[in-house]
Amino acid sequence: MTLPAASRAGAGQSAAVAAAGAAVLQSAWWAVGLAAVVGALIGGLLSYFGVPQAAARRLRFRLYAPDMSSLTLAQQQQQQQQQQQQQQQEQQMMDLLGKPDLKLYTNPASRGTIVNWYLQELGVEAQQLDLDFKAKEHKDPEFLKVNPFGKLPALSDGGFNLFESGALLLYLADKYPLKSGIWTPQQRAAAAQWTLFANSTLANSAFVEQFREKSFPDVFGSLDKVLAEREYLEGGKFSVSDVAVG
């Protein structure tokens, strides 16, 4: 049966398109093969001349990396929009996860400054809430739920409330042992020893007038002797004890 002239022409065009497609595909495979061979040759030459592998990989990448300048304006704008959306999503996730459970109630005139110092040494994020003494914010009913005595500093950790700077320091050291280095009862006892010393013996000799004249020279003289023998209070490593004594 003889096909009409139009059908024969269409068949001829289809055959031509198929042949052209095959030729393009063959050329593509040839190009890929050539790129692989050239890449291998370059790698061999770079290795022969002693170019480090990392540098060689970077050089090969530059040779075969796609040319981003070939993107159309619309494609570039779409790519920028995708990057902006990704950055916004990352920021939202950081905002969500970055809100710490720890809340430090403090004032520059209180020993909350050393608690904040220790938080920074530990690399722990906390919400710092500076209360105004003049405005009596430390006597606010909401804060009295955290510390019924209305004193600073105080700490709230997911509903667990704590006051007294020494207790706050020891709590943080126990909560983050990987960073504080406190693992054993002996280490914790040493930390408690220096923390209690700072808040009682040392504080009384420095700030209580009736003890200052008699005990101040003796206490600070003894402390100087301890620090003359070692860099830090607990030996060769900075610890919560150094923060407590300040």
Q: Which stretches of 24-152 are assigned E, i.e. beta strand? A: 102-106, 127-130
Strand, coil or helix: 202: helix
Instruction: Determine the average pLDDT of the residues in 86-91.
Output: 63
pLDDT at 104: 98
> For the chain, how many residues are written?
246
**Of the candidates 188, 169, 187, 182, which has an alpha carbon nearest to the alpha carbon of residue 124?**
169
Q: What are the residue ranges spanned by the domains of the chain?
A: 28-59, 99-180, 184-245
Quick one: pLDDT at residue 208? 83
Q: Is there a common fold for 99-180 and 184-245?
A: no
Comparison of pLDDT for 64 and 210, the residue scoring more: 210
Q: Which two tokens stand for residue 203?
A: 């504080």
pTM above 0.75, yes or no: no
- Respond yes or no on whether the N-terminal peptide bond of residue 108 is cis (omega within 30° of 0): no
Please enumerate in sequence order all residues whose Cβ is within 8 A of that of 186, keeping only pairs 6 or more positions apart, or say none.
none
Whether the pLDDT of residue 34 is over 80: the answer is no
pLDDT in tens, 218-236: 999 999 999 999 999 988 8
Q: Which CATH number fits domain 99-180: 3.30.565.60, 3.40.30.10, 3.30.70.2740, 3.40.50.1100?
A: 3.40.30.10
Phi, psi dihedral angles at 84 (to 5 degrees): -65, -40
Q: How far apart are CA 202 and CA 198, in angstroms?
A: 5
At the topology level of CATH, where does 184-245 sit? Glutathione S-transferase Yfyf (Class Pi); Chain A, domain 2 (1.20.1050)
pLDDT at residue 206, rounded to an integer:
86
Q: Is 99 helix (H, G, I), strand (E, B) or coil?
A: coil
pLDDT > 50? residue 22: no
Tokens 């110092």 sit on residue: 117
The amino acid occupying position 150 is: G
**CA-wise closest residue to 203 among 179, 232, 223, 229:** 223
Residue type, position 224, single letter: D
Q: What is the pLDDT of residues 61-75, one digit of tens each?
A: 444 444 455 568 888
Q: What is the mean pLDDT of residues 104-115?
A: 96
Q: Is the pLDDT of residue 79 over 60?
A: yes
Tell me the average pLDDT of the chain: 77
User: What pLDDT sits at residue 84?
Assistant: 75
Top pLDDT among 214 and 64 is at 214
Using the predicted structure, report yes or no on whether residue 194 has a pLDDT greater than 90: yes
Query: Can you give the pLDDT at residue 55?
Result: 44
Query: Residues with Cβ < 8 Å from 157, sequence gap 6 or more?
Result: 101, 102, 103, 171, 175
Query: Which pLDDT value is given to residue 65?
Result: 41
- Output the CA torsion 95→96→101→105 (10° steps): 30
**pLDDT band at 156, cuts 50/70/90?**
very high
